[in-house]
Amino acid sequence: MKALRSDIRYRTYATAGGGPKLVLLHGGLQTSANFTRLAELLATAFTVYVPDRRGRGRSGPAADDHGLRAEIDDLAAVLDETGAGNVFGLSSGAVIALNAALELPAIRRLALYEPPLRLGADDPVAWRPRFEKELAAGRTAAAFVTVSKGTGDLRYAPRAALIPLAALFLRAERWSGTGEVGRLVPTMLLDAAVVEDASGPFDRYAAITAETLLLGGARSASYLKRVLTGLEAVVPRVRRVTLDGVGHLAADNHGKPGLVAAELRKFLG
């Protein structure tokens, strides 16, 4: 794992001969390790850089006023050091990449998987007040369920059944010596800050000059599909692809990263 002049760490994946340079930006409850399978699939054709976003993995801590500005600055540092011009972002990582493309000419091609932006009555961080109360009370499993349901993937599962399952999962992680997800739960407040900072009219995204690919899952929450529709209407050089049989976390190791990799190869190749 390499380090920037700042305290951002990133993983590099490449085969002999390299290829076009691509940065993968993870979402909430994730680190660079969650994109291992996706990066390995893409490394046959690209040189892939996967940073740990601030406050996660091996990167440095986030400041108290951490938000979208800091995330864009960190991405800019990665692009500057690696020379990459292609960026893929998932969820809050897509929110960062989208807004970075408004000000970073280095981003020539942009692939976004379901950025959870505010649109009309849809508030993708409506879970935050309950989440903060559960964290303050030391109810990490309940907080984990609250934010997981907030993405929409677990929207049909009852909380009463999910909380004890989440508690078992987090306990098993601690026993195994990893505990990664348990440590990441509080960092969802950083993701919420990014989404809140990005609030505003979609018209501003008409200024994006990068060629843009919008990706989404057929099983994802309706509000995420509405966001993609809103972006599709304003981003100038855009195309959209819906992946069958998957939801919000298709790019994750435990999703269907092969489907995402195939679309990225077509778009960036």
111 and 9, same structural domain? Answer: yes
- Burial (CB < 10 A; 0-12, 13-18, 19+), residue 258, is exposed
Q: Do 80 and 179 sit in the same domain of this protein?
A: no
Place of tokens 């000000």: 103
4 pLDDT above the threshold of 60? no
Say which residue, 254 or 155, is predicted with more confidence.
Answer: 254
The answer to whether residue 88 scores a pLDDT higher than 60 is: yes
Domain shared by 58 and 19, yes or no: yes
Domain that holds residue 141: 128-189
Mean pLDDT rounded to a whole number for the chain: 92
How much is the pLDDT for 180?
78
Helix axes 188-197, 128-136, angle to 10 degrees: 150
Least confident of 65-79, 128-142, 172-186: 172-186
Strand pairing report for 9-13 and 47-51: antiparallel
Q: Are residues 147 and 117 in the same domain?
A: no
Residues 95 and 216 in one domain: yes
178 and 206 inside one domain: no
Q: Is the pLDDT of residue 34 over 50?
A: yes
| Least confident piece of the model among 63-67, 71-75, 129-133, 145-149 | 145-149
Are 108 and 170 in a shared domain? Answer: no
Q: Are residues 116 and 132 in the same domain?
A: no
Mark whether 150 and 263 lie in a shared domain. Answer: no
Kindly state whether residues 205 and 261 are assigned to the same domain. Answer: yes
- Of 166, 189, 212, the last residue of a domain is 189
Q: What is the pLDDT of residues 214-239, one digit of tens each?
A: 999 999 999 999 999 999 999 999 99
Same domain? For 70 and 17 the reply is: yes
The first and second tokens of residue 236, run together, are: 């100038």
Predicted pLDDT at 177: 47
